Chain A
Amino acid sequence: TGRTKIDEDLYEELEDILIGADVGVNTTLELVERLRDEVKERKIKDPSELQPLLSEIIGDMLTNEDESHHIQLNEDGLTVILFVGVNGVGKTTSIGKLAHRYKSEGKKVVMAAGDTFRAGAIEQLQVWGERVGVDVIRQSSGSDPAAVIYDGIQAAKSRQADILLCDTAGRLQNKVNLMEELKKVNRVIQREVPDGPHEILLALDATAGQNALVQAKQFGEAVNVSGIVLTKLDGTAKGGIVIAISHELNIPVKLVGLGEKADDLQTFDTDQFLHALFKDAVIEDDKMQVD
């Protein structure tokens, strides 16, 4: 933009970009306030310095001192990774992709079909297993998910697998029974595998709005979520809510989903995320008609 000075319009424009990226009102206001402070402190006059500075502030929020953006692997034994999240966000697909990644790295991977509820869920994981050449431990539809995960652990142990990826059914965080079921699955892993599960990854849909923060809160309270998989970033949504999640709940984003194919999974990269956040964020005039 060809602006010559830093004025209220510019701040408002940045606010709109952030809110439009699902950063949320509270976090946006906090970010812009910090921005104003920095501008004053550093005596910044050039409007073109504003957005990079804002990126820097957001980058700080996204970086956790004690938490890494990398998946924690158990170097001397079985690593168990549990996937959780609301319906349709991309848990099963992300498991397939991650299985593909580890398999390509020469690791022995097993997947457990812990979604025994949704129609075709077991078969879906089975197809992924065939696609990437990884065994899937399953029971029949309708059986106890905790029992499937137990089976998965025993199979992974006896096959001396390096990594066990556990799928679970999608569930909304306000469904008390389903959250209890998830805790039970988690307890089975804790009991059967020392230090397990090594990661509990919450899949979040990048198109999600403010409810994603509630999801992270509630799933985190139920099972101690260790990282986020931000899926569907190949669309036009920015996934800005992860800033609030990182800031308020201290849960780092670890992986991003960029498509439906086996290799459409990447390790989270703060710079790339920030670049995308501001990329096509040109605030046009309000041409939109509301009837």
Chain B
Amino acid sequence: MAFEGLSERMQAVMSKLRGKGKVSEADVKEATREIRLALLEADVNFKVVKTFVNRVKERAVGQEVLKSLTPGQQVVKVVNEELTALMGTEQAKLVQANRPPTKIMMVGLQGAGKTTTSGKLVKYLQKQNRKSLLVAGDVYRPAAIKQLQVLGESLDTPVFSLGDQESPVKIAEQGLAEAKQEHVDYVIFDTAGRLHIDEKMMEELKQIREKVQPDEILLVVDAMTGQDAVNVAEHFNRELGLTGIVLTKLDGDTRGGAALSVKSVTDCPIKFVGMGEKSDALEPFHPERMASRILGM
């Protein structure tokens, strides 16, 4: 079963109840309270938690559950099903365009890990014998272009740049032309970090999207993000229509509840997780592992 750890915790609660012969509504309430706290402590957004808990409660106090022969187990089953639904089960792959180059656009808040992840994607694709071009679209952050160039060099991968005096839209456009000319398989557009509420900067991303028509728009999210993750993801998704999420810095000791929040408000699959600063520290996302991590199992 996907959430065995949680099951154990639930079983402990339920076995207490079993002694009573039947499970009451109050007992279910007590159990869901425990789940609620576990999720909140892991930084899952409180509204997401509320909806989740209400759903579990609603289903668990339903006649077929509490009147069943094994009410405890039935409640556990409900929780598992709801969690699985929330987290998603399938492993979502990186899109590949029918006609190369496949265009990947990286977006997100400042410092989330876009530039580093761009380099990691190059490495990941290299392992599948795919060639990439990196496009240096951050003209704002000091030495952002240099950062990408250093990464490109270490990966033996070209970096397209027009310096920091041209508009990111123009850079993206010309970067795409270069990618086509060089017949690379993937072109990865690094963009500057920006706040989701910065209208001017969000408009810039929309213009880039218009020009290059990306196959993937990946939102890069710091796994340590707290309650605000839903705002950020919602905004970026509404403005751009995301195709996937990359969760970074999971090599830390955060529970990473933001993953659940982001997934549930965008309904976008989490495609990769960042597990370190080096270029090979990128892994496909595993929903079950993430779920047990969030619940502290």
- Report A's interface with B, CB cutoff 8 A: 16, 19-22, 24-25, 86-90, 96, 117-121, 123-124, 126-128, 131, 141, 172-175, 205, 207-212, 214, 232, 234-238, 241, 260, 286, 288-291
Contact = CB atoms under 8 A, between A and B. Distances in A.
Interface residues of B, number: 58
Interface in B224-259: 224-232, 249, 251-255, 257-258
A126 B143 contact: yes
Given A19-B227, A88-B222, A286-B50, A291 B143 contact: no
Contact of A214 (B222, B230, B253): B253
Interface in B1-55: 37, 40-43, 45-48, 50-52, 55
Interface string B103-116: 00000011111000
Contacts of B85: 291
Nearest to A287: B47
A234 B224 contact: no
A16 B50 CA distance: 10
Interface of B: 37, 40-43, 45-48, 50-52, 55, 85-86, 109-113, 119, 140-144, 146-151, 154, 195-197, 222, 224-232, 249, 251-255, 257-258, 264-265, 267, 277
Nearest to A131: B142
Given A120-B147, A288-B265, A207 B222 contact: yes
A205 B229 CA distance: 13
A210 B151 CA distance: 31
Contact of B43 (A88, A124, A210): A210
Binding site of A, secondary structure by majority: helix, strand, loop or mixed?
Answer: loop
B227 A288 contact: no
A172 B251 contact: yes
Contacts of A238: 228
Contacts, number: 159
Contact of A205 (B43, B113, B222, B251): B222
Contact of B252 (A96, A118, A211, A291): A211
B48 A87 contact: no
10 nearest CB pairs, A to B = A209-B226, A88-B111, A120-B147, A209-B43, A127-B142, A119-B150, A237-B228, A123-B143, A211-B254, A22-B226
Contact of B226 (A16, A123, A175, A237): A237
